[in-house]
Structures are given as C-alpha cells and as structure tokens.
Amino acid sequence: MTTVQLDAGAPFGAAPPSGGDAIVTRGLTKRFRGGQVAVDALDLTVPRGSVFGFLGPNGSGKTTTIRMLLGLIAPTEGESEMLGLPLARALPRVGALVEGPAFYPYLSGEANLLRFDAADPTADGRTVRARAGRALERVGLSAAAGKRYRAYSLGMRQRLAIAAALMGPRELLILDEPTNGLDPQGTREVRTLVKDIAADGTTVFVSSHLLAEVEQMCTHAGIMRTGRLVAHGTIASLSGGLATRVRVETPDTADAARVLTGLGLADVRAGDDEVTAELGGHAPERVNATLVGQGVAVRGLGVVRPSLEDVFVGLTGEGFDVDG
C-alpha cells in the first residue's frame, strides 16, 4: 500500500485545485529485462474532477502504469505529470492505495493510522489524532476506530486503507483494484465511498478488471490491452459508437425478422426464439405494435444498450471479468 501525507495543518478535504488535468502521460513506456513490454507508449489524459476507470484484464499494464505515476518504478521512456506538476511536487497532493491494504492485525483501526502516519517524515505528529479521526469518519469507520484490524470485514479493511490515503487533503486519489476480493456488500461500500469522495471535489483514478463496477461508479474510462491503451473517454462516448439494439423474444423468428427488416431496422439477426436488430431511430413501442399487428407472437421485447464489455470485445475480440 502506498500513500503520501500532506501538510497536517491544512483543512480536511480536497486541496485547492492547481489547474490543468489530473493526470497526463506522453509516450509512457515500461520495458523489463528480457524485452517484455508491460506498458507501451501510453498517452493518457485524466480530467480533473472525474472518476476515471482504468480498465483491463489482469496483466494488461494497469498496476505498472500506476507504479510509474507514483514514482515507485522508473519508466523506460516517456513522461507523466499529475495535477499539472512534476512528480516530486505533485505527490504531497496525491493519496494512493496500491495492491491492497497492509496493516497490523493486533492494532485497532485508529492505532494503525497513527502508526502509518508516523512513518511519514513530512507529517505533523501534533495533529495526527485529529486527522485520523477525520479520516475514519470520512470512510464510515468512526464506530470501529477502537476495534482490532483482524476483526474488520474485508470491506472495512479496504475502507481503512482509503482512510490512510486520506490522512491529509487530496486533489487526486489513486486506487489500484479497490474492490478486488470483496463480497457484494464490501464492494457496495467501497463504490459508495468513491462516489462520495469524488463529490467532495477529489479526482479519483480507479484501476479495475471489473467492467460492471466501473460502469456504476465512473464518469470516464480508459481500456488497456497488453500494455496499450485501446480506447478512452467518457463512459457515454465509449459506448456511443455502438448501436442500441432491440431484442424480440418470439417463436415466430422468421416472421419477426421479416417485419423488422420491413421497418428498416439494420443488422437483423435471428436465433433460437429470438431476433435482434439495430434499433436506430425507431421507438421500441412502435416496433412492438407493428410486430403484434402483423401476427407475430411477441413473448418479450427489450432494448439492449451497449456496455463497456461490448466496447472492449468490439475493439479486441476478447472479454474479461464483468462481475468478478
């Protein structure tokens, strides 16, 4: 786990904006010994104020990218900046959680934060208890501050790790797989927390291999595959290039396909008890009325909007975890 502390005397919450985008990389590349390219010429822009989902299968280069952004490893080529500043000047304004929390199991949540803060030479020990209390309150752990870490649920442990990253005001929070290994309740807790932190003005950069999670909590996303960025933009724009489809459940597939074609719907596909087509500008209720009016037995009709999974499969021909 990695985090950086800010001036302990500053008010809790997001630090004053420094202008520019939150993260910018240009040609960022990491090549390991033996020639393996983990990240290949990454050009990435993360808008300030966004919740940015950094998507890709395990091994696609997400964590390596985060490590380069935080200065934990050096890039082979290229450059990056955060908050419009070089790395050394930006880090005091950045909180980060990389590869899961690591705390002392026999200490309480509060005691772990105090010990964690003591390892930071820039932190002000005079205000550490107040800052720890505010951080615990921010992640909803005030009532569990005195409970030993080993008694925490997985979701509570992840929230405590985020609290450690919030021991000072942050303009940018970087989270590497924050819902990895969590049960549905823990996942909801972290997802809600991320949204709340973003609502307070902090830019949140979240790496994940879970498409459904990113769709629910992010405003923007970038999709990685084998070290390369294959698409990035707003969630709406990423899926906007794919057509919305209508799906008709019917035993009369041949007749349904004929009616949909006659209506001018494109890419009509008939399967077992189902016909789909690009909806285009047609109203689904009018499509349904026409099908029924021409004697097609309609068991069900639905509108299928493209998802991030559809985008990824369309770009790469591959899929990865949607729900974990």
Give first-to-last CA distance, the chain, whole Å: 22
pLDDT in tens, the chain (324 residues): 443 333 333 333 444 444 579 999 999 999 998 888 999 999 999 999 999 999 888 788 999 999 999 999 999 999 999 999 888 888 888 988 887 668 999 999 999 999 988 887 777 888 999 999 999 998 889 999 999 999 998 888 988 998 998 887 789 999 988 887 778 888 888 888 889 889 988 999 999 877 778 888 899 999 888 899 988 888 878 876 667 889 999 999 999 999 999 999 998 999 889 999 988 889 999 999 999 999 999 999 999 877 777 777 766 655 555 444
Quote the tokens at residue 289: 């009325």
Decide if 23-238 and 241-311 have a common fold: no
Query: Which residues are within 8 A (CB) of 238 and not within 5 positions of it... i.e. 6 or more apart?
Result: 221, 223, 231, 232, 308, 311
**Rounded Cα–Cα distance for residues 322 and 130 (Å):** 40
Q: Is the pTM of this model over 0.85?
A: no
**Rounded Cα–Cα distance for residues 38 and 29 (Å):** 8
Domain extents in the chain: 23-238, 241-311
Beta-sheet strand order (sheet of 203-208): 94-97, 172-176, 203-208, 51-55, 220-225, 228-234
- Closest by Cα among 23, 97, 99, 94 to 58: 99
The CATH class for the domain spanning 23-238 reads: alpha beta
2.60.40.420, 3.10.129.10, 3.10.310.10, 3.30.70.980: CATH of 241-311: 3.30.70.980
